[in-house]
Structure 1
Amino acid sequence: MKCTKCGATNSESAKVCEKCGATMGTRKMRKPKRNKFLYAIVLLVALLGLGLGLSQLIGNDEPEQALPQEETEAVEEEVVEEEPAEEVVEAEPEAEVEEEVIVEEPETQVSSEEQVEGTVTKAENITHPSDQEEKVEPKKIDKTAIIKDAQSRVYTILTEGGQGSGFLFTETGMVVTNAHVVAGYTDVIVRNINGQDHEGTVVGISAESDIALIQVGDLTGIEPLEVEMAATAVGTEVIALGSPSGFENTASLGYLTGIDRDFYQEFTYEDIYQIDAALAPGSSGGPLLDGGTGKVIGINSLLFPDGDSIGFSIPMYSMYDQLNAWANTPMSREAVAAIFPVYDDFDGYEDDNYEFDYSTTHEFTEESLTEFVTSYQEFYELALNEEDFYYVQNLLVYQSNIYNSMIEYIDQIAGKNMEHNFNKLDINSIEIEQDHAIIRTNEAFEFKDAQGNWSLQERSKVYTIVMDDYGFFYVSDIINVE
């Protein structure tokens, strides 16, 4: 028997070491006890991990609900109470199994997490592209903003024979219109929304397609309207701008209701757009705008006389190359005159001092004056409720007292949330003089003030109406009669 202190060999019966005198012990060496509690925990975790992985494979959405924390603790306590201290050797074979489980269990757990993360990633990959598409989708512009922005570049085209419409095509002052608006003329008048007249010269015209181009030097440097170079789909909301029925530079809303329409009259119209936006004589040559983007998609050209609100517009993309060619290389006056007979009583074009003959007379009628004042009230109501002067801008004499006072009043009420709902217009009398007309009315409207209080307002008014050389009516003054 060896001494545990000095290592000397002693007899089996020795109580103390014969060499160093240390007490001899008889302790039996025991193998380290394996903790069954630890085995139970490891096994439980392994089962949990396996359960998570299986739940992912069969589509279980709640793998974490395997076992409540309280039950786990109860199991742990139970295992500790039943564990015998001396059972060590029998657990030896389980050590290998437990080592395998310990190695595999983290792999199962990681795999389960990877599957969950992979699912989230796929969902994000599906969602993000649609979000991206929404961001890059062309942003639609408010229609009021589109109309206001375009009207400053939409014009009334005036000739001795009548009037039409046009719009700015280039920064060099080129204005697009219909050929039938200027056919027979090389010199025209181009009037802007403020009633200012500019001299224009026809520098491009076609005998086949109903298009023409006018050079206006005073408009050089102004940014033109943007043009849509692709075909427009049926159902697109559209805005038609022009000067129909003597109402300069007005707008009407509608939809593109047909494509590929063909007509063969004085001009050839092929693959043109059909629209239900209101057109009238005088709309010809005005732009048709996309109601969402504000781009010019067509040139308003035809009105179907036997139907309600059926008009036709030449697609802008189909005429762009020809218009652009004229803009870059204008036709001469002689070339323009050769397309259509120009000024039959005029022998040549050498005289640069040639002027229009404004001998054509226009007269006031009670019917036309009644229609004008009725329309004015409608536009006036819009101007007040939209708090925007442009609705009546082209119906008033430019820079007159009523023109300037109207701007002031609309500025004063802006942002105060007032409302005006006109419900009465009685025309009491119409007096037609040589150069103007006097119209007396009784009007009533419901009014909401800045405090939100409603009241009924009645007014007696006296309108002074004047007419220009082309037959357009304007309000030169309005007096409220007490």
Structure 2
Amino acid sequence: MYCPKCGHKNTDEANFCGGCGKAMYGSNNTKPILAVVLALFIGGAGYGYATDWSFQWPFETTASIKTKVVHKDEAELKIKKAPTVVNETKQQVKDKTELIKESLPSVFTIGTRDGSGSGFLYKAGGYIVTNAHVVAGYTDVTVKNSVGENFEGTVIGISDRYDIALIKSQANKHVKPFVTETKETPIGTEVIALGSPKGLENTASIGYLTGLNRDMEMDFIYEKIYQIDAQIDHGSSGGPLLDATTGKVIGINSLLYKDNTVFGFSIPMHSMQKQVDEWINEPMSSKAVAALFNVYDDYVPESYQDSEDTSWDYEDYGGFDDSEEDYTEEPELEDTEVADEEVENFIHGFRSQYELAIDYNDYEYIAPYVAAGSSAESELLAFLDDLSMKNEFYEFIDTSVTDVMYTNQSIEVYTYETLNFTKEDGTVQFLEKKKLYTVIHNEYGHYQIKQISNQ
């Protein structure tokens, strides 16, 4: 074998050149070494396959880094959030406790001779809202506060259409009033119902607003009322329904569903605020309040006993003066109640048709209700004729019959009417009118209006 460096001839077994002394790389002695290395490599490869080696340098991809960071952050987030959730829960419980504690002095038990209900302070000065069916036309009521003290209260507003009434009690005029919600509350809102169910004062129950826009008609008309699962019972009527978060009054608890406490109904406060404010600005007279439900058959309100006001006689409460000048005969009480109801229905029917007559400028809607040739007919025809020349509109809100008086010639019906009047310039004015309808029987025995005048 020749040396690749100097060309000296060496034997085949030589490991180094005899001429220059350099290593002989082409020597056959390297073959065993290569064989060993190759054998080790092949053996390692086989072992690696059996043990699932990847034979790759370890490295981290973007995805793996992101995954590990997310997992780490989530773990840290859980550790950090745990105490925060606990703190928030404690704070919420504390808020409800404080809210109820602060609200109870402004919630009252309302008593009459017929029973009791609840009410709440709507405005400073002693203005207390309750249900109409709680006071049922009484003028004098008892107002009991959260510590059991009794005070006098006077009903200064009540409706026979919507189940709402307003009481004024001077003894409680310095109590802090509730703040009321001015718009519809969404379903799912947590609520607190306060009141005196079964006469148990200072009662609070927590639940949720579970339904909206429920319409019912019983003794009163209930429109778009709230359905709640906060427990209420007899005696809760008139109490406030609070938003458990804001503490605002969102409703007036009014009804149970089929005499159980599984769920009840509350009148949205925002729908009644306008009427309540009107009563505050212009209170109804005690006579009008008493006459609306005819509950005083033999009772004169305490505020008018021993009074110089002689107008508070028995006839003001549905009774009759037996003098020959006005009446020929004193009717039976039961017959009178039936007659009163018929007269009221007649007046309500007339007002309903009267609104249509105005809307369509057509007297025929009310012709059957008006006596032919009477002053009422001529005045109504003239009014419709004048209205046809103008761009004005009337929207009737409510008509309450406050008194019915019988004479040997006619029936005098006293009313309290509210309506919105839209002028030609587009401005809207709220109107209140007290009217006297003189009603007669025609030859067929039907009621007809002979004269309409302002009280």
Q: TM tier, shorter chain?
A: 0.3 to 0.5
TM-score of the pair, normalised by structure 1: 0.43
